[in-house]
Structure 1
Amino acid sequence: MEQFEYSLEQIEQAARICWEKLQQGHVMAFHGEMGSGKTTLIQTMCRQKHVRENVSSPTFSLINEYTFLDDTQQIHTIYHIDLYRLRSVDEAIRVGVEDCLDAPGICLIEWPELITSLLPDDTIHVYIDILGEKKRRLRITPAP
């Protein structure tokens, strides 16, 4: 497990580390208590890819879809999924989480604990620990 401590001023570096690890898979699951900075980190990751859409928390919509162009001008899709309000795996399936996991593209999932049985084996898990008001620790488990 790789660890990295960061402040809000260093979040760009934390996001770059996440992108480096995501090259090993297409699903990244973000764990952390409310207010730990999961959405802020995902917003920074999307900004680094020059996502054109407004990147916001999908707490009410559950799934937001963004696109970006890579260096070869190929379009890629990011599914930003927030499962905080869901109560069951069946509910997650009904709203389309499985479709996102099976689709080509990148899945960035907040509150993934509900759907661990649906996550692919190569899912990268990111744990955000609150160390202080402005300090966080990122712990990343590599894909097997």
Structure 2
Amino acid sequence: MTFQLNELNKAVDRILEFVGPEKTICFYGQMGAGKTTLIKALVKELGGTDQGSSPTFGLVNEYHDQNGKLLAYHFDFYRIENEMQALDIGLEDYLYSNTWKFIEWPEKIESLLPQEAVSVYLHFIDENTRSIEFSAE
């Protein structure tokens, strides 16, 4: 699917349609492709009240709905050096929680990802255009 940045909601709808009941989504794409922007739009569509941002320095952000209920975890593993660092923050507990999990730079923790995770590949086409493709094991 190819979309303009001002059509981000179409991409979000398509992702949620594809994912179905799965709640772990891995986002692949080069730096600046728009992974965090897409995740922010997903959080908003799912009813999140928190302003989404990249958790690059803290590794994980939590998002809540209007009732304060935990809605999603957002991971950014760009800065980790090995999978042990992900385990040190309790990744396994997060992955088995009954909430949405959005993971940026999942290639850094490949062997730790659940089999049922859905992969979203975001491609930079030009300043205003992106494409996405999906994969599920």
Q: Please name the residue that 1:125 is paired with.
A: 119
Tell me, yes or no, if the aligned pair for 1:81 and 1:109 is still in contact at 8 Å: yes
Deviation larger for 93-102 or 104-113? 93-102
Identity, in percent, stands at 35
Distance 2:94 2:19 in 1: 16
- Residue 78, structure 1, aligned to residue 72, structure 2: yes
Distance 1:109 1:53 in 2: 17
Tell me, yes or no, if the aligned pair for 2:48 and 2:71 is still in contact at 8 Å: no
Tell me, yes or no, if the aligned pair for 2:62 and 2:70 is still in contact at 8 Å: no
Runs of 4+ in 1 over 6 A off after TM superposition: none
Tell me, yes or no, if the aligned pair for 1:26 and 1:105 is still in contact at 8 Å: yes
1:45, distance to aligned residue in structure 2 (A)? 0.7
- Among 36, 41, 51, the residue aligned to 2:38: 41
* Pairing 1:1-144 to 2, within 5 Å after superposition: 4-68=1-65, 75-141=69-135, 143-144=136-137
> Please, which runs of 5 or more residues in structure 1 have no aligned partner?
none
1:77, distance to aligned residue in structure 2 (A)? 2.3
Aligned residues: 137
1:105, distance to aligned residue in structure 2 (A)? 0.7
Deviation larger for 36-45 or 127-136? 127-136
The one-letter code matched in structure 1 to 2:103 is I
The one-letter code matched in structure 2 to 1:109 is I
1:30, distance to aligned residue in structure 2 (A)? 0.1
> Please, which runs of 5 or more residues in structure 2 have no aligned partner?
none
1:61, distance to aligned residue in structure 2 (A)? 1.2
Question: Tell me, what secondary structure is at the counterpart of 1:59?
Answer: coil
The one-letter code matched in structure 2 to 1:138 is I
Distance 1:129 1:135 in 2: 9
Distance 1:112 1:94 in 2: 16
Distance 1:63 1:76 in 2: 13
> Normalising by structure 1, what TM-score?
0.88
